[in-house]
Amino acid sequence: MTNTGSNIERILDTGGFVVTSECGPPRGADAGVVRKKGELLRGVVDAVNVTDNQTSVVRMSSLSACVILKEMGFDPILQMVCRDRNRIALQSDLLGAAALGINNVLCLSGDHQKFGDHPQAKNVFDIDSIQLIQAVRRMRDEGKFIGGEEIKGKPVLFIGAAANPFADPFEIRAPRLGKKVKAGCEFIQTQCIYNLERFERWMAMVRDRGLHEKCAILAGVTPFKSVGMAKYMKNQVPGMDVPDEMIERMKGVPKEKQTEEGIKICVETIQRLREIPGVRGIHIMAIEWEDRVSEIAKAAGLLPRPQLP
């Protein structure tokens, strides 16, 4: 036990089931937007991810939005991508985050800048997500920077990463998680799960390797707002696996009922995920749809959340 102060770690330590969601910072300097999104998640989640210039679009920095949410009483998860910062800047921000009372970090490679609003930018990728996990772990547990120098005042952070069981090649997806665990990852949030059959196969491979015992798997879900969104996720988002029967199910209801159908599918998915051995929590990614997270969590039987002292 590391005692990072993280709600995720505290709930996992007592054998509990974790619920997280995410808050995408605004494309401007208005702290009110973050607070408004935060209010919608109050009492619904144990910790909240704050994305780091997701899809390579410039937004308020993850660390700033984390601090705003922290002031509101949340336990934020600082997402960090390797696309925009080298090892000097990443380690500096890790120290800053810990100094500001952030308890969790999610280590990611980051989307390529081609998808964002500055495709002409130079990318960094000095280190990758697995090396970032290793770096945070070493900073926290050994008090050493990547360069080997000693840290005065270790950053105490609970260390997470992402896993995409739906990307290719499938056969290395569990070994890849194994590398993240070996690097020091303590919790995983997965890509949005629509293909439960494939997710179950991946979880079986994860259990075969005993990875679920060393690292908590939080299963990711995203509700469809419409059949259009479902099709977009299927055809346009790399590494996303939306089975045809889900598109058909969305198509099968009248347009004005599609939103409710999307939420219904999401709730049913959560209920199935909870039954899978080794799944320790749910990560609800309702992109720019934070007002429905509470409803989804309630319908899926995830409320009330445990009161932590």
Partner 1 sequence: MIVANRKPLEEILEMIRPYKKILLLGCNECVTVCAAGGQREVGVLASELRLSRAKDGNEIEIREHTLERQCDYEYIDQIRPFVGDYEIVLSMACGAGVQYVAETCRSKLVVPAVDTTFLGVTMEQGVWSERCQGCGNCILDKTGGICPIARCAKSLLNGPCGGSSGGKCEIDKEVDCGWQLIIDRLQELGQMDRYEEIIPVKDWTTARDGGPRKRMREDLRL
Are the C-beta atoms of 124 and 64 separated by less than 8 Å? no
Is 145 a residue that touches partner 1 (CB under 8 A)? no
Smaller CB separation from partner 1, 111 or 200: 111
Shorter beta-carbon distance to partner 1: residue 24 or 178: 178
Q: Whose structure tokens read 């800048």? A: 113
Q: What track of x and - describes contact with partner 1 for positions 244 through 283 (by CB under 8 A)?
A: ----------------------------------------
Q: How far is residue 303 from each of residues 36, 165, 267, 294, measured CA to CA in Å?
A: 21, 27, 13, 9
Q: What are phi and psi of 174, to 5 degrees?
A: -75, -45
Say if residues 283 and 277 touch (Cβ distance below 8 Å). no
| Contact call for residues 292 and 286 (beta carbons, < 8 A) | yes
Residue 263 Cβ vs partner 1, minimum distance, rounded to whole Å: 25
Part in contact with partner 1 (CB under 8 A); list of ranges 4-12, 65-73, 129-137, 301-309: 129-137
Q: Packing angle between helix 173-183 and helix 196-208, nearest 10 degrees?
A: 50
**Stretch binding partner 1 (CB under 8 A), from 38-46, 118-126, 244-252, 294-302:** 118-126
Per-residue contact string for residues 37-66; x = within reach of partner 1 by CB under 8 A: ------------------------------
130 vs 247, beta carbon nearer partner 1: 130
**Which residue of 101, 239, 252, 306 would you call a contact of partner 1, by CB under 8 A?**
239
**What's the rounded Cα separation, in Å, for the pair 79 and 208?**
29
Greatest Cα pair distance in the chain: 62
- Among residues 31, 57, 95, 146, which is the contact residue for partner 1, using CB under 8 A? 146
- Beta-strand relationship, 47-50 and 187-192: unpaired
- Please spell the DSSP secondary structure of 7-53, one letter per residue: HHHHHHHTT--EEEEEEPPPSSS-HHHHHHHHHHHTTT-SEEEE-SS
For residues 77 and 105, the answer to whether their CB atoms sit within 8 Å is yes
Report the residue number, 44 or 135, with the smaller CB distance to partner 1.
Answer: 135
* 168 is a site residue for partner 1 (CB under 8 A): yes
Dihedral angle sign, alpha carbons of residues 121, 127, 129, 135: negative
- The answer to whether the beta carbons of residues 276 and 270 sit under 8 Å apart is no
3-class SS of residue 135: helix
Q: Which of 10, 37, 83, 249 binds partner 1 (CB under 8 A)?
A: 83
Which residue lies nearer to partner 1 by CB, 159 or 162?
162
**175: contact with partner 1 by CB under 8 A:** yes
Q: Out of 130, 136, 217, 266, which residue is the one contacting partner 1 (CB under 8 A)?
A: 130
* Euclidean distance between the first and the last CA atom of the chain, given in angstroms as a whole number: 18
Q: Does 2 bind partner 1 (CB under 8 A)?
A: no
Among 110, 160, 262, 281, binds partner 1 (CB under 8 A): 110
Q: Which stretch binds partner 1 (CB under 8 A): 37-45, 125-133, 199-207, 263-271?
A: 125-133
Helix (H, G, I), strand (E, B) or coil at 60: coil
281 to 300: interface string for partner 1, x by CB under 8 A = --------------------
Q: Which residues bind partner 1 (CB under 8 A)?
A: 82-83, 87, 109-112, 114-115, 123, 125-131, 134-135, 146, 162-164, 167-169, 172, 175-176, 178-179, 182-183, 191, 238-239
